[in-house]
Amino acid sequence: MPEIGVGHENSTMWKLAICWVLIVAGSNCATDRQEAAGAPLLGSTAAPDRKSLIDQLEALKEVRNRWPGEKVFLDVEYGADPAKSDFRQRFGSIARRFDIAPPDVILVKPPMNKDGKPRPQKPDAGIAWGVIDGKYHDVVFITLYLKTGLNDDELLAALAHEMGHVSQAKKTGHHPQDVHGRKLENEADELALSCPEVDPAAFRSMVIRVDRLADAAGRAHPLLYGDPSTAVIPVSVQNKLAFGGDHPMTSARIKRADAEIKRRAAATPSSGQPGVATP
Ligand SMILES: [Zn+2]
């Protein structure tokens, strides 16, 4: 734990070294950043025991507040399903491309109400990190509502954006203040779109769907967003009005995806018959 020096004056580093830091950096990012405090370190294994990892995260108030509900690992959920092998491979190669260890993707199921019925969720995603055995370990959270609202290509686009944040965190030494802000959100989108594994058309529809999912959730469950007006004024519109949001506007994200669609189309030879002269 080299970060913990006796008399270290930088309390943020010290916090980073002993805590999980939750960065709100999702497909439907809110505007804030939350720092978690008081988490004990995981055990001394290099590969963290997964049950212990979940327990560590659940011990954090910020995680319980923002990501309530049962947490499972996406790869466990997918298991050995051959239909998901392409998804798994593309996920892994995006991580290699970004020069990061593939983060654990934690799927957050909806919490249950008193009657045993699932409570509403936001279409949310975000990253968190903590120091385990002296090394940073990054996780990506996604809600089940987000996952079920997206197809695999769209989900991969959303995860590529989150992995972009992981690579930013790595580059900036996991300093929370450096992995925050609209510039970094734009950059995470650019990173995702730069991956050949990510279909820019899927990225585009992901952005649109996330807005729609948020609007539907806000309409049906206004208190989910802590604002009854979401029943009348869609969440996407409110996000647009609230200029303080870190995420670029949906329209700007669509534009960026469109530019990449165009760029790839131009880079791909349109003739399927190379060498065949057409009269
Ligand atoms: Zn983000």
Cα of 7 vs centre of ligand 1, distance in Å, is 34
Q: How large a percentage of the chain has pLDDT more than 90?
A: 45
Write the Ramachandran bin of 36: left for phi over 0, alpha for psi from -120 to 50, otherwise beta.
Answer: beta
Q: Residues lining ligand 1 (ion), CB within 5 A? A: 25, 29, 185, 188
Cα of 212 vs centre of ligand 1, distance in Å, is 17
Cα of 178 vs centre of ligand 1, distance in Å, is 13
**CA dist., res. 32 & res. 278, Å (int):** 58
**CA dist., res. 241 & res. 227, Å (int):** 14
Q: How large a percentage of the chain has pLDDT more than 70?
A: 75
Report the pLDDT value the prediction gives residue 47, as an integer from 0 to 100: 55
Q: Are 37 and 15 in contact (CB under 8 A)?
A: yes
- In one-letter notation, the amino acid at residue 93 is S
pLDDT band at 1 (very low <50, low <70, confident <90, very high): very low
Report the pLDDT value the prediction gives residue 246, as an integer from 0 to 100: 60
Cα of 165 vs centre of ligand 1, distance in Å, is 7
Report the pLDDT value the prediction gives residue 60, as an integer from 0 to 100: 82
Cα of 190 vs centre of ligand 1, distance in Å, is 11
Tell which wins on pLDDT, 60 or 33.
60
Three state DSSP letters for 186-238: HHHHHHHHCCCCCCHHHHHHHHHHHHHHHHHHHHHCHHHHCCHHHHCCCHHHH
As a whole number, mean pLDDT of residues 138-150 equals 95
Global confidence as pTM:
0.80
**CA dist., res. 63 & res. 36, Å (int):** 8
pLDDT band at 30 (very low <50, low <70, confident <90, very high): very low
Cα of 262 vs centre of ligand 1, distance in Å, is 23
As a whole number, mean pLDDT of residues 244-266 equals 87
Report the pLDDT value the prediction gives residue 25, as an integer from 0 to 100: 40
Cα of 269 vs centre of ligand 1, distance in Å, is 33
Mean pLDDT of the chain: 79
Which residues, in sequence order, are CB contacts of 178 under 8 Å at separation 6+? 168, 169, 172, 184
Cα of 179 vs centre of ligand 1, distance in Å, is 9
pLDDT in tens, 192-221: 999 999 999 999 999 999 999 999 999 999
Tell which wins on pLDDT, 10 or 118.
118
Structure tokens, 27:
């497909």
As a whole number, mean pLDDT of residues 261-269 equals 91
Cα of 270 vs centre of ligand 1, distance in Å, is 34
Annotated domain spans of the chain: 11-267
- Checking if the pLDDT of 8 tops 50, the result is no
pLDDT in tens, 184-199: 889 999 999 999 999 9
- Checking if the pLDDT of 101 tops 60, the result is yes
pLDDT band at 234 (very low <50, low <70, confident <90, very high): confident
pLDDT in tens, 37-54: 333 333 333 456 888 888
